[in-house]
Amino acid sequence: MTANRLTVSGLSTCFPTEDGLVRSVADVSFAIAPGKTTALVGESGSGKSVTSLTLMRLLPKTARAQVEGSARFVTRAGTEVDLLTLADAPMRALRGNELAMIFQEPMTSLNPVFTVGEQIAESVRLHKGLDRAAALAHAKRMLDLVEIPAAAQRLHEYPHQLSGGMRQRVMIALAMACDPTLLIADEPTTALDVTIQAQILVLMRRLQAETGMSILFITHNLGVVAHHADDVVVMYAGRVVESAPVRPLFASPAHPYTQGLLACLPGKAHAASTPGQPRPKRLFAIRGQVSSPLAPPPGCAFEPRCDRAIPACAQAVPPLVPTEESRQARCIRVPSLERTAA
């Protein structure tokens, strides 16, 4: 049995289109330890959500996705299974029970014609075998757990009757109803104001401490990552370009893309200014745009936007190599690769 709750190796997800094959995720590998939080970060279109939906096996069949690689998951009982090749019936038994997901927009993820209590109770009845009364009682306890006021009343209300913050709490209650061992949170605080966002993050951290679950936290908010993640996986154009524990990554990012992301933060921009000189008036921005997934560059995907690029960067996709203990980067500037390229 592996020491990790989830070990993803060489995950690739492609979608056939009329214009060609779109490779949304390419050779992605990472691991999540029990009770730890791994943050998956990157700008929009980097492949974060497709990665999560692939792991949950929730990609629509009409998309005709072509999936490669492995995702070894260790169940509560200690059994190791590959989420990508598991048969449909045992996958449904895991999904919602040991594997749970919080989606980006709760208003479109919750069923508008059922009360929130019925939606939470449905999962408990399916996986735990409780009757309707016992399942609703459990749903009420879950609403109390996520600190929804007047939980007994909210239990019988519909999603449109709740505020955005309450709907997000309902999504967390739904995901936590069966005590999952792995929670995938896909930008769970994007649509919330700062105060509610902080409350949701504190709530998730408390629930993690109480249950010992692992969390895959998908976000583009680096401030959230700094405070709530143990490890960080940075994605660009469908590939992992850097992975590291959170503190070393923020202290000394190795990949130019990660350096650019951190430089875009207002605090980082001020800290980077020369001592004794006035603070910069404009925030740093990474130049250019992400290349089309239909026509990716032959070499490093970030090469057209990178100020440190050399001719060798455009020749081949660099491998993800260790830079030091527990850290990896996909850049030819990594010393071991730079010597080879020279």
The pLDDT tens digits of the residues spanning 92-133 come to 999 999 999 998 777 788 999 999 999 999 999 999 899 999
| Amino acid 195: pLDDT | 79
Query: Mapping DSSP to helix (H, G, I), strand (E, B) and coil, where does residue 9 land?
Result: strand
Residue 38 CA to residue 307 CA, distance in Å, equals 29
Instruction: State the DSSP string of 191-245.
Output: TS-HHHHHHHHHHHHHHHHHH--EEEEEES-HHHHHHH-SEEEEEETTEEEEEEE
Beta-bridge partners for 102: 185
Q: Is the pLDDT of residue 270 over 50?
A: no
Question: Does residue 241 register a pLDDT over 90?
Answer: yes
Q: Which amino acid belongs to residue 303?
A: E
Looking at per-residue pLDDT, the higher value among 264 and 184 belongs to 184
Poorest-pLDDT segment among 123-137, 225-239, 283-297: 283-297
For residue 341, is pLDDT > 60? no
CA distances to 115, 119, 197, 215, 315 from 111, rounded to whole Å, are 8, 8, 23, 24, 49
Half-sphere exposure of 12 (CA within 13 A, CB side): 10
Q: How confident is the model at residue 255 (pLDDT cuts 50, 70, 90)?
A: very high
Chain center to CA of 192: 17
pLDDT higher than threshold 70 for residue 203: yes
Please say whether the beta carbons of 235 and 8 come within 8 A. no
8 A C-beta contact, residue 25 and residue 238: yes
Copy the structure tokens of residue 199: 């409350």
Strand partners, 37: 215
Mean per-residue pLDDT, 177-199: 83
Check: CB of residue 264 under 8 Å from CB of residue 284: yes
What does the block give as tokens for 81?
A: 């299974």
Q: Does residue 284 contact residue 263 with C-beta atoms inside 8 Å?
A: yes
Residue with structure tokens 């100020």? 307
Average pLDDT value over all residues in the chain: 88
Q: Report pLDDT digits (tens) over 119-175.
A: 999 999 999 899 999 999 999 999 998 889 999 999 999 999 998 888 988 998 999
pLDDT higher than threshold 60 for residue 277: no
- Cα torsion 245, 335, 295, 61: sign: negative
Q: Between residues 335 and 149, which one has the greater pLDDT?
A: 149
Q: How do the domains of the chain map onto residue ranges? A: 108-177, 256-341
